[in-house]
Chains A and B, each alone.
Chain A
């Protein structure tokens, strides 16, 4: 047998000792683990491991569960880490600048979720415009027989859709909405070549020219509260906001005010600033669709995530190019 790459502490005659070591970094409240994904291919190091204090100083790969923060303190604690592998598309919980400074590579879920998020975003848009969930409540409440007709919806076709962030999710949303007869435009950090849709250099301009905004961009210091009072005023009383990005892309307090006052027409929200807390004022509104941050969750996307995570770790340990590295810009 080949000798293991690292010195073995006494009492761990594990045949898997040949496998590369991966630190599992998770907040205590995350009781679901993906350890069963990792264990066939890697050795796992967790705080509960008796050799943690030693091995944590030499481990090279960190597996970051969900929104567990990775910041300077984390990187100080694990000084040999060269690669951070995340489980989400959004990595606003990882200090990308700090990682870049220390030459630590970061990977995200890549495209694992894009289709499912795009499907969901379109579902939310149709729901808000055509009042699908509100009608479902109406019928379940036994009101159809009593109250008769229910308020009109608004036609999806012909609506001007402003996509904020034309990455893989945003592009898929556009592709799905075109056959509905929607008119697509977008804002992104940079204009994209070979894209047939009109580009607006600011979200404000996009909002002025849109009936609905669909937020598909990442949360960064530049995009925090991107959708603010001015943007919502530009969107107007008939405007709709769909958010499948991150709650903090929207000034949530302002959004609630606008919705309660009828200054915008409706919203479909999968994400919130302080999940799982949702502003209670929204519970009484019929023109809002609320979702518990699950735009990604299908069995298929979970499997794609598994492949992305294992693939990225395999590539790292083999000194090959990572599958879904997020570069600091």
Chain B
């Protein structure tokens, strides 16, 4: 359409789910350059079309490396559809003065809801019970094994950012006792703080991972932490798969070293360790803790809002780096 030529240009990589659903809305405000729709190789496309492009939109699993950024000499802003920014070379962005905007707090409630749903499901064996009924076995086998009470359990939240706080708020209402570990202690927060993940884990029954994936947090949940969680302990991960040493996690689950796990994320999505498929004490999800209709609309508004602010030289809405 001729009108779109007047719209600001944005390089689109991924593309993120939100674009697949709200592409029409996005395209009314920006003109997107789409290498994935072009028959020529991406590098060539970028060289031919993106030399002067200032803005880029990407998904949470699009690697934005220094290599890629070198091919985009004019880029000044990257808007990702994810809360996580572990896929973006932030050091290079800071060096170049490139702003990076993420999902801000748009997903926090939905992710927290999923985290709590997974906690209840693992503890009370809801999905396992559903399988039991659907298999037609209830009339034959009678009673189903006891679950474990949620209320009164000690919940350790790793990363007390906006998601972690929403999880805490919800589980408090169930009568859980909340404690946390974060990079820094939060002075106004009434929950008990533990300076190390190991200490936190020793003192809790349920671990909920709500932190970012960085060099420091990669494989932070290792064999030592899992053993400290113990035979009655449960872990829920709605953050990034690589925060947990997945091989160790699988071994601990198979050997009964921990009681169960609720996992929305994995080290090598969409691959999920097959050993988990046979376990009744695990609840698996396809990295969709954010995916509700409402949150997809909210992220559309936030991402296009960030881009509009950029092009209008106004303050960005959700900057992680403000170049």
Residues on A facing B (Cβ under 8 Å):
32, 115-116, 119-120, 122-124, 126-127, 130, 132-133, 135-140, 142, 144-145, 148-150, 152-158, 175-176, 178-181, 275-278, 283, 289-292, 294, 297-302
B124 at the interface (CB under 8 A from A): yes
Residues of B contacting A136 in the complex (Cβ-Cβ under 8 angstroms) = 127, 283-285
Query: What is the number of residues of chain B that contact chain A, defined by CB distance less than 8 Å?
Result: 55
Residues of A contacting B109 in the complex (Cβ-Cβ under 8 angstroms) = 155-157, 180-181
Residues of A contacting B321 in the complex (Cβ-Cβ under 8 angstroms) = none
Residue pairs across A and B with Cβ atoms less than 8 A apart, 24 shown, are A116-B151, A119-B120, A119-B151, A122-B174, A132-B118, A133-B283, A136-B284, A138-B286, A140-B284, A149-B286, A154-B294, A155-B295, A156-B109, A175-B173, A176-B170, A176-B173, A178-B173, A289-B126, A290-B133, A291-B126, A292-B129, A292-B144, A294-B143, A299-B149
Instruction: Assess A132 versus B283: contact at CB under 8 Å? Given A144-B270, A276-B139, A302-B146.
Output: yes
B133:A135 contact, CB within 8 angstroms:
no
Residues of B contacting A298 in the complex (Cβ-Cβ under 8 angstroms) = 124, 146-149
Please report whether the interface of chain A is mostly helix, strand, loop or mixed according to DSSP: helix
A155:B292 contact, CB within 8 angstroms:
yes
A144:B138 contact, CB within 8 angstroms:
no
B139:A291 contact, CB within 8 angstroms:
no
Residues of B contacting A135 in the complex (Cβ-Cβ under 8 angstroms) = 284-286, 288
CA of A140 to CA of B113, assembled, Å: 22
A153:B126 contact, CB within 8 angstroms:
no
Among B114, B121, B296, which residue has its beta carbon within 8 angstroms of that of A133? B121
Among A32, A178, A283, which residue has its beta carbon within 8 angstroms of that of B134? A283
Among B170, B285, B293, which residue has its beta carbon within 8 angstroms of that of A132? B285
CA of A299 to CA of B153, assembled, Å: 13
Residues of B contacting A157 in the complex (Cβ-Cβ under 8 angstroms) = 109-110, 113
B270:A124 contact, CB within 8 angstroms:
no
A290:B284 contact, CB within 8 angstroms:
no
Residue among A133, A181, A290, A299 with the highest chain B CB neighbour number at 10 A: A133
In the complex, residue of chain A having the shortest beta-carbon distance to the beta carbon of B292: A155
